[in-house]
Structure formats: C-alpha cells, structure tokens
Amino acid sequence: MDHTFRPPYYHRNVMNEFMGMIHGKYDAKEGFLPGGSSLHSCMSPHGPDLTTFEKATNETLGPVKFDGGLAFMFETCYSLNMTEWALQAPHLESDYERCWANLPKLFVGPEGNGKVEGKKADADAAGGV
Ligand SMILES: [Fe+2]
C-alpha cells in the first residue's frame, strides 16, 4: 500500500478491548513487551504512541518484513475491571495516557470542517478536503 499510515489507526469503539503481546514487537507502542497487556474500555480513544506516529508519518515507505510478532485481542460488550493485583503491580504503567500527550493536534473542530491544520491552505486551494 502506498501513502498509508501503517500502524493501527486511532479509534474508539463500543466494545471493550483487552489485548496482550505474546512475543515479538508490537507496531503501535514502544515498550509494549511480551507479557504486557492493555485494556481500552468502551469508547476510550486510543492508538499509536507519539514515537510510532512520528516514525510512521515521516519514514520513507517501502516494503517491510513482518517480524513474526504475535499479539491477541479479546473484545467484549461486557465491562472488564482490573483486579486489585493488577492495579498494585509494580510494572503497571500508571501514566499510560502520557504516550499521547505530545501528539500534534492535526484536526480542528467543526468550525474548521475537519481540515488538517497546516494543510488547511492546501485544502482550500484544492477546493475542499
Ligand atoms: Fe483498539
């Protein structure tokens, strides 16, 4: 695929997502190591961390060989709660949301018609989106 953003895209959904890494390297978050897991509850926005975003948007696209990593994901309409053990675990990434803290704001609100900041003039010149 040419001119694509290859990591998993930013999204939220109506399901609760629990995923884990079994082996290899996860392509959307630095430090998401084998044995690690994440929980994104219903309608929680999530996606690649800043490092992954910057790499994916700036690298020269070409063929990339899949490294053979293996992850899993469970999706359920039922709410999942973390156990007390998980909440107290020393390896808990309690500042998980910080991985998105410095992402640039690329989309504007309804007054901007969803145009990408910095490319708004280009979009206007092109007559739209
Ligand atoms: Fe997700």
- CATH number of the domain where residue 13 is located: 2.60.120.10
Nearest to 7 by CA among 42, 40, 44, 51: 51
Count: domains in the chain: 2
Predicted TM-score (pTM) above 0.85: no
Ion ligand 1 contact residues with beta carbon within 5 A: 17
Residues 77 and 116 grouped into a single domain: no
Residues 107 and 90 grouped into a single domain: no
41 alpha carbon – ligand 1 mean position (Å): 9
Domain that holds residue 20: 1-94
Residues 74 and 27 grouped into a single domain: yes
Residues 72 and 47 grouped into a single domain: yes
Lowest mean pLDDT among 21-25, 41-45, 95-99, 107-111: 107-111
- Give CA angle at 65 (21, 100), nearest 5°: 50
Instruction: Answer whether 93's CB lies under 8 Å from 30's CB.
Output: no
Residues 22 and 85 grouped into a single domain: yes
Residue 16 main-chain phi, psi, to 5 deg: -100, 130
63 alpha carbon – ligand 1 mean position (Å): 25
Residues 52 and 77 grouped into a single domain: yes
Residues 69 and 112 grouped into a single domain: no
Residues 129 and 89 grouped into a single domain: no
Residues 85 and 108 grouped into a single domain: no
Residue 116: what pLDDT? 59
- The whole-angstrom separation of Cα 34 and Cα 39 is 15
Residues 75 and 25 grouped into a single domain: yes
Residues 61 and 19 grouped into a single domain: yes
- The whole-angstrom separation of Cα 114 and Cα 5 is 18
Residues 41 and 82 grouped into a single domain: yes
Grouping H, G, I as helix, E, B as strand and the rest as coil, residue 42 is coil
32 alpha carbon – ligand 1 mean position (Å): 14
26 alpha carbon – ligand 1 mean position (Å): 13
Residue 126: what pLDDT? 42
Question: What is the number of other CB atoms lying within 10 angstroms of the CB of residue 13?
Answer: 13
Q: What is the pLDDT of residues 52-99, one digit of tens each?
A: 999 888 888 888 787 778 999 999 999 999 999 999 999 999 999 999
List 11's β-bridge partners, or say none: 46
